[in-house]
Amino acid sequence: MKIKDKAAAVCDLLDGIYPAAVCSLQYDKPYELMIAVRLSAQCTDARVNQIAPSLFRQFPTLQSFAEAELTALEQAVKPCGFYHAKAKSIKEMCTILIERFGGEVPDNMDDLLTLPGIGRKTANLLLGDVYGQPAVVTDTHCIRIAGRLGLTKRHAPEQVEEDLRKVLPPERSSRFCHQIVLFGRDTCRARNPLCEGCPLKAYCVDPSFTKNPNQKKR
């Protein structure tokens, strides 16, 4: 099977399992997603969603984040960890959005990467979820499972993104990445994946799973 055909078949199966897959971070405005993603670094989405409602009530506008006292912002985001760095970059990125981009989250990769705390993974998420552009978010689930499925042989996020852009249908790539996160949590786990009965087992190229999945421990 050609790799593009395999990628399309995987997308079909994931559509059947997770037809309504969306970003697990909760937000109402584009800049809120930007902030939530920054908070999620080395923190669970569940924890971010716990503090996000009170955070966005305390700082209800982009301007209020830009003008916030840094110490107050640090305390508000402290439960997400690394709060000094996160608060600083959130305040700076909100200031830049106002001063340079008219208060709007940029709709292109180059401008997004000029914002403090924004890397390609975050930029891709924003482009896909906010603007509906073809996007590939290479988080740990995506990198791991894409490798197991033989969609890439590389491991660096930017390299995996490059490989997946070549094989995924562009209009499905953003949804694929949300689906693969759910699949990674439910089935294709980093350790002790549930290989028996896995709906994507036929496409797995990792011999340690396909030969004897019940004995595989990671």
Q: What is the DSSP string of 94-143?
A: HHHHHHHHTT---SSHHHHTTSTT--HHHHHHHHHHHH--------HHHH
Alpha carbon distance 215, 207 (integer Å):
12
Alpha carbon distance 12, 19 (integer Å):
10
Structure tokens that stand for 145 in this block: 């499972």
Residue tagged active-site, from 91, 121, 129, 163: 121
Residue in the block written with tokens 């509906």: 132
Report the largest interatomic distance among the alpha carbons of the chain, rounded to a whole angstrom. 58
15 among known catalytic residues: no
Residue tagged active-site, from 15, 107, 111, 139: 139
110 among known catalytic residues: no
The answer to whether 69 and 59 are in contact (CB under 8 A) is no
Q: Please give the angle made by the CA atoms of 68, 30 and 76, to the nearest 5 degrees.
A: 30
Residues belonging to the active site: 121, 139
